[in-house]
Structure formats: structure tokens, C-alpha cells
Structure 1
């Protein structure tokens, strides 16, 4: 079969969905990937994996209806020309407009993934409330045009059910995107405790809480390393370079920018920290678990799926710097606990989040095996 995989963020498509797309190919299917970034930058990268890549016009964070109409028209034309047998879509705009474009072309084999509802769904303020109302109408239409809908956590699933956006018999829960256990292998812990945050530098990821917690940690433990990996972003809540620079100048943070391979940085930490306000299921947490690291993350949608509080790490309330600092200090002082939690993280990764198990669930739902 010919399968189209749609995303509004090409690098996410390449790094987070490649295992799934390669599994499609391994079972004899053809894959076409669509993303927002130029073909000149990505075409060869995808072709080396046996995947055709095509650019579409989509603004990940924009609210201009004319631009969204252009996205819909391009997707509709693409589907008309390529005639894919099945469509897998994730990220809001490609889920919504991809599903509607498929329906306009008479395709019912559409399988969106709701990989985390963003700040629009859980934020405050009149503007977000208005946009949220519009998005609910759009999501309802997208779900009606879809055969099954994947969710990565129960909070997002319940939000859709309670808002009457979906029929319950359409819902399929999967354990995040999974993690490639052949690629992310356990590594010895460093001699001294060290912390790491990986992610887009947006405030909804909890990056400010991480920076402030590291600042407090450094007062008492100046030798403790606090690492930060990730790109600046166009999101409205994005951290600006001038906001981060003082933490770099004062040697609170070691900042490494965006990295295609995060394994060398996970290897340097003993505890992975992600105090995000909401996620689908954070892939970086799964990768850190697979490499045998204790986890501190927030008691928030998606994040709480990855940690059994007190077992393989700690759950902290969102926006709560004091709780974050408390748990970081606890793991600094108790190396045995840190090591035990790291071992339990690895156990959970193997039992629950193996990418092969996740991909099998996706393929069975889509009728590909």
C-alpha cells in the first residue's frame, strides 16, 4: 500500500517517526512523508531511508486563516495526485487539514495521532479561549473524517471525550512514540551527579523552571553540572537568547544548542529533567529511560505516564521550582537511590515503551500487518 505520513514539522517527522516509517517499508509498503521544511534540505535524507519527501506550506504556530486555507488546498491536491491508500497524520494543523483534505478526496483510511494538546487547550486568556473554540470545531470534523484516532495519554483522550469531539470506539491508546532500544542503550552513570534538559526552548516545556532550579542547585553544589540541549523556537512562549545568556555567563548552564544525536548528552547526566506543562508522551524522557537514567518530570498530561513517583523518578507540580529543587537535591545526596531509579527506568522502557511494541499496535490498527 501507499502510505502518506503528514507532519507540520519536518525534523520531528524525521527523528520521531522514522522507526515507524521504516517498519511500514519493512512490511512492503511505500511511504511518502510531508513536512513544512524545504525539499532541498530534506529530500536526500528521506530518500536514503527509502522514503519520498514532499514539502507543504504549513505554519506550525500561525493563526492566519488564509495560510491555513493554503495548507488545506495543498494537502487536497497532494492527495488527489498521489492517491495514498492510508494516511497517518500528527501535529494539529496536519491532523485537521489532512483529515479534511482526505475526506474531500473520498479517502476514509485516515489515522491521526493526537501527540499532546498544546497550550491553546490548557492555557488561559480570551485569545486562547477563542482559538480553542475554533480548534475544537476543527478537531471534531477531523475525527469524523478519520477511521481511528491514536492518543498517547488518557488526559488528552478524556479531553476529546468530554468535549464530544470523538466517538469512543475510534480511540486507540499507544505508549508514546516508543523508543528504539537498539539505538538507545544503557550507559554507566557519571561519577558525579549531573542534570539534563532536552527540548525546544519554549516556556511551556518548563525550561525557565529548570534554569531557576539549576541556579539554586549551583549555590550549594557549584560542581554539579546542569546541561541544556535544544533549539530556539518560533512558538509564542519561546525563550529568547537574551533570557538564556545570563545563565550561560554565570556558568549555571552548559548550553549545547540543537543536536541531531542526543545520546552523548544523556550519557553525561545522571538524571533527566523535564518540568513540562503538557506533552503527548515525551520522547526524550523515554530515550533517557532507555539509557538508564532517573527522571524528574511534571505531574502533567503525558509526562506523568512515564514516571511512577518514587520508583523510577519523581513527579513535581507544574511551575513549582521549590519541588524541583528538592528532588534534584535528594538525588544529589542519595547516589544509591539515583542508581536504583535509573535501573527501574530502564526496566520500564523495555517492558512498556519498546518502539517495536508501539509500532506493532499502530500497524495492527491501520490494517498493515
Structure 2
């Protein structure tokens, strides 16, 4: 966007100094917008909406691009109320309240509220970008968007093939890696149970977990993680700002998620590194790999099926390099971040504007 001559301001809820410096080098302004990413406190969300309104009123952007659930909702509402000329939404996944086809109790109430909020935020939006067919269908079926609003499929957020270069596979007994926020919906417990089962026959195999604890209602508590570490079945490596060294040390990437993903970036990064993937056959995850070619797709919440998928690589370790090579080729052909960005800019009309115009484009993430 900056190369096309636009002025860009990025909003985010945390002040990461490395990100701030990187954006500054690119000529992008950065502002912190306080936001409880996983909270459901209505007063906190009203406060977020007020902060969005004040920031947009001050910046007076021509274009607002909102990314992920809360920014899409509250940034979208604020931009509509202020009459900002162009609004776009990137739907990275509808979240856990849409994962269950027949929700009950609190989840059912939250889904109804989410549908209503999406309708307010997406009314009159110029374009909505979706990552998979299931999200596209839900947006239409639940009438969260007007019939005339275009829904455009994109290949997720893409992956930087140069940053995540294909690397040599580790030697010895295959090792497995899961990278995710520690949520039950990410299939972390199923991964631990599968690791426990496989460890009995392959004691030299390594099963690692990388990712932060999460305050989400389905977050796994630190005490449970400590128990896993004491058992010796899995290695918990904590959170990191750079997953590449962990991917380099892994033979196979595993993400048994039933979170209702958009397209998981962690899978794309593993594919770009030349690692085969075991993941679920749910929307989003299933859009990444080819079953039996670059990895295996298994049913969600099925520990035995997950263990069987992982066991293929322990019984036939030579398939790791073959499937990993296919994964890298698929990343190059479909998920190259430069192709994804070019598609987004073209669809939003940002790459066709004269470079002399200094538009203020606000990205809220």
C-alpha cells in the first residue's frame, strides 16, 4: 500500500517495539488501540468502539481495512457510523461460537449476538475477504451480509517463502511439533493423548508444543501443562516470536484444531519449511494440504485417528521428505504472500490508484 503512494496507519492492541520499528522503516504509522482480544465484557467492548470512533474521527481515513473478529465488528461499526468512504473486512475465521452446528447455552447466546453485531458492522461494506467456503456459506446463510455484498475468496494471509525457506530435515527418529495458542479447541489435548500413545512404542520420538497460554474460556491452565511436562510425554517450549528454529528441528507439523479456523498461518509456515502436516478435515485446516500427498487429514476430536496419522511417519520415515517437498511446492503455488497481497490490493482498488494521491488507509488488527 505504501509503495502505491498511500499513507498507512496500523492499529493493534499491543505495543510490540520490534513491530513498531519494522513498520516505521516501511513508512507506516502505528498506534495502540487497547482491546481485550478474547473478553466478552460488554462495557469493555463499548469502550473499544468509542476508542475506534475517536481514532477514526481524528485520522479521517479514506479506507478502513479491518482484520479478525473484534476489529471487524467494532472497527466496522465505527467506520460506518462516521461515513468513511471505503470499508473492507478480512474474515480470518468466524471463531469458536460458529464451530458447533448446534450450540447450546452461553455459546448459543454468543452466536446470536455475534450474528447481530456482524450485521451492523458489515452493512454497506465494500468487500469481504474470506479464507474458506464454510465461512462464506455461514455469512450468507445467517444473513450477516447483504445479498449484494461481494465475498471474495483469498488464500489466507499467505506465507513469506523467503523468510520461511525450505530447510533440511532433522536426522534420527521423527519429531513432531504443534504451534498454537494453548486452547482446547486447537486440539492440544488430543495431541498430548496421541503423543502418549505413540511414545509407548517409539520412546525416542519427540513431541513438542510451542505457544502461549491463553485467557480464552477454552484456554488450558498452566497446572495442566506442568503435568504434561512432568510426565515426559511432551516438551512444552513456551511462547516465541520466531517459530522458524522450532520448525527446523521438527520432522512433522501437527495441528488437530477444531477451532473453526480461517486458514492457519502456522500450517502455511510449516509447509513453506518443507514439513508434512497432520491436521483436521474441518474448514480452513482442510484447505491447506492434500490428503496423502503433503500430509494427512483426520477427523476432529479423534485421538486414535490423530495417532494413526502421526504413526504413518514413524512407520515410514522416508515419506517425510517426499510429503514435505510436496508441501513446499503447494505453498509456492497457492500461498505465496506476494501473490496474496497483490490479489487483495487489486480487489480493493488500491493498486490502481495514481501514486500521487496520499490516501490515509487504516488497518485495524
**Partner residue of 1:66?**
43
Q: SS of 2:200's equivalent?
A: helix
In the aligned structure 1, how far is the partner of 2:148 from the partner of 2:292?
33
Displacement of 1:359? 0.4
**Partner residue of 1:212?**
193
Normalising by structure 1, report the TM-score: 0.90
Q: In terms of mean alpha carbon deviation, does 115-124 or 30-39 score higher?
A: 30-39
Displacement of 1:309? 1.0
1:85 aligns with 2:67: no
Question: What's the CA shift string for 1:107-126, capped at 9, x where partnerless?
Answer: 13111111011111224321
Return 5+ residue gaps in structure 1 as ranges.
1-23
**Partner residue of 2:116?**
137
In the aligned structure 1, how far is the partner of 2:295 from the partner of 2:288?
9
Displacement of 1:44? 4.2
Of 219, 230, 240, the residue aligned with 2:221 is 240
Contact in 2 for aligned 1:88/1:113 (Cα 8 Å): yes
Structure 2 counterparts to residues 80-229 of structure 1, below 5 A:
80-123=57-100, 124-166=103-145, 167=147, 169-192=149-172, 193-229=174-210
In the aligned structure 2, how far is the partner of 1:168 from the partner of 1:217?
51
Q: SS of 1:350's equivalent?
A: helix
Q: In terms of mean alpha carbon deviation, does 278-287 or 40-49 score higher?
A: 40-49
Question: What's the CA shift string for 1:211-256, capped at 9, x where partnerless?
Answer: 1111111111010011111111111111111111122112211221
How many residues matched?
Answer: 346
Displacement of 1:64? 1.9
1:231 aligns with 2:208: no
**Partner residue of 1:10?**
none
Question: What's the CA shift string for 1:189-231, capped at 9, x where partnerless?
Answer: 1112110000111111111111111111111101001111111
**Partner residue of 2:343?**
361
Contact in 2 for aligned 1:39/1:53 (Cα 8 Å): no
Of 293, 312, 331, the residue aligned with 2:294 is 312
Question: What's the CA shift string for 1:27-63, capped at 9, x where partnerless?
Answer: 2222211111247786445424432221223221222
Contact in 1 for aligned 2:124/2:149 (Cα 8 Å): no
Normalising by structure 2, report the TM-score: 0.91
Q: SS of 1:220's equivalent?
A: coil
Contact in 2 for aligned 1:108/1:145 (Cα 8 Å): no
Higher relative contact order, structure no. (Cα contacts within 8 Å, ≥ 6 residues apart): 2
In the aligned structure 2, how far is the partner of 1:243 from the partner of 1:49?
42
1 or 2, which has the higher helix percentage?
1
Question: What's the CA shift string for 1:10-39, capped at 9, x where partnerless?
Answer: xxxxxxxxxxxxxx2222222211111247
Of 238, 248, 256, the residue aligned with 1:257 is 238
Moved over 4 A (4+): 38-45
Contact in 1 for aligned 2:225/2:236 (Cα 8 Å): no
In the aligned structure 2, how far is the partner of 1:319 from the partner of 1:242?
22
Contact in 2 for aligned 1:232/1:238 (Cα 8 Å): yes
Return 5+ residue gaps in structure 2 as ranges.
352-365
In the aligned structure 2, how far is the partner of 1:345 from the partner of 1:39?
31
What is the RMSD computed on CA atoms of the aligned residues? Answer: 1.5
